Amino acid sequence: MGQRKPIVAGNWKMNGSSELIKEIAAVSTQVSGEQREVLIFPPAVLLSEAISAGLNCGTQTVSEFESGAYTGETQATLVKSLGANYTLVGHSERRSIYGESDEDVANKFAQAQQSGLTPILCIGETQAQREEGKTEEVVKQQLEAVIKKLGIASLANSVIAYEPVWAIGTGLTATPEQAQATHKYIRDLLSGYDEQVANALRILYGGSVNESNSELLFAQADIDGGLIGGASLKPESFKAICESAKG
């Protein structure tokens, strides 16, 4: 990991409450600092409350449009004005359930950066794609959609989250070796564009990370922390995962 400060990010999805905000804020105070960055993605309606509680926050998605007649969308500039620092873009649930294309994700990435948010670009393959040996092809295509639109330099102000879709919420987890192999592929691919950007870029692993597997995952050379789903809703589990990420 070297010079890269790990991130442990909790994606609450459509879960959470005022009570959970208080509990996670207490945990975050104990585990944030020099060794790691702790980050929470609550539902948009809880974002302001979470920030007021002292949490380092992002939103789970933003609109690709700056403003306008887009009912129900989340405006990146407004998210930034609330005090959030990050947004997820291209989470597999946004891609699969809401039909976001690689182009849509690149547009959201651009809008996030334009608004002063740091995008966490989520990439990863399905079970079928892995079985067909297409993991590298899929993540390359998802990365290059952003590079082609914005250039490799745009990734200097971003984070990547590799999430094998087959391991999200299923209880299945890529082995540390499987995860490391894909993380190394991502870093090597980006090194072909710009070695300095690639070496500094934080690449998180997501997919059924819990307190029993996080230490081995985070110990891998190219894994710089995790994007945590279900376990981020359990304060003690989330605390243990955070403590296993050491810069």
Residue 208 lies in a domain: yes
pLDDT (0 to 100) of residue 27: 96
CATH number at residue 112: 3.20.20.70
Per the residue annotation, which of 37, 64, 125, 163 is the catalytic one?
Answer: 163
Residue 213 lies in a domain: yes
Q: Tell me the pLDDT band of 90, cut-offs 50, 70 and 90.
A: very high
Is 169 annotated as contributing to ligand binding?
Answer: yes
Instruction: Provide the residue range defining the domain that includes 148.
Output: 16-244
Residue 65 lies in a domain: yes
How many domains are contained in the chain? 1
Is 151 annotated as contributing to ligand binding?
Answer: no
Is 133 annotated as contributing to ligand binding?
Answer: no
Residue 174 lies in a domain: yes
Annotation says 132 is catalytic: no
Residue 6 lies in a domain: no
Residue 4 lies in a domain: no
Residue 185 lies in a domain: yes
Given its phi and psi angles, is residue 99 left (phi above 0), alpha (psi -120 to 50 degrees) or beta? left
Is 12 annotated as contributing to ligand binding?
Answer: yes
Per the residue annotation, which of 64, 91, 93, 100 is the catalytic one?
Answer: 91
- 215, with CB counted inside 10 A (0-12, 13-18, 19+), is middle
Annotation says 163 is catalytic: yes
Is 13 annotated as contributing to ligand binding?
Answer: yes
Angle between helices 102-114 and 135-150 (to 10 degrees): 40
Asked if residue 102 lies in contact with residue 138, where contact means CB atoms within 8 angstroms, the answer is: no
pLDDT digits (tens, 9 = 90+) for 181-209: 999 999 999 999 999 999 999 999 998 89
Residue 3 lies in a domain: no
pLDDT (0 to 100) of residue 152: 98
> Is the dihedral angle over the CA atoms 204, 209, 211, 212 positive or is it negative?
negative
